[in-house]
Amino acid sequence: MSRKIITMLLALAILVTLSVVEQIAVHRITGDALHETQRVLADIRAEAWEAAYEKAHALDQAWDRRASVLEVMVDHGSTDEVRYALSKLMAALEGRDKAAALIYAGELEGGIEHVYERQELTWQNIF
């Protein structure tokens, strides 16, 4: 009987450890992406189109690399929403459309935050 309890406690400890590691990884990836989005937004507001496009393009490439890691832990739809928002943002930046770029940057921010919220250790997400 005590052997079963020890085995279950060990399995529970491993599960909790993996959940914490996953949470840290998702937080780091989404935090970095949100920081870069803020930098793009600052460039849009200053109408520094080339700088904004370069930063958005770098964010797009970084997201593509990191999304494969996230998709193991997060619903693909959430990571795809971020990709779509990035694509729309980059198109708006190419056209130097400030209003659209601000809208899509906001959409991008919301998508990244949604990825994090979906993995946050809350009772709602657990159950």
CATH code of the domain in which 34 resides = 1.20.120.290
Total count of domains within the chain:
1
Whether pLDDT at 120 is above 80: no
Two tokens at 64? 């593509």
Mean of the pLDDT values across residues 65-90? 83
Per-residue pLDDT band at 53 (split at 50, 70, 90): very high
d(CA 27, CA 24): 5
69 Cα distance to chain centroid: 11
Domain assignment of residue 7, yes or no? no
pLDDT, residue 54, reads: 96
Domain assignment of residue 2, yes or no? no
Domain assignment of residue 12, yes or no? no
Per-residue pLDDT band at 71 (split at 50, 70, 90): confident
**pLDDT averaged over every residue in the chain:** 87
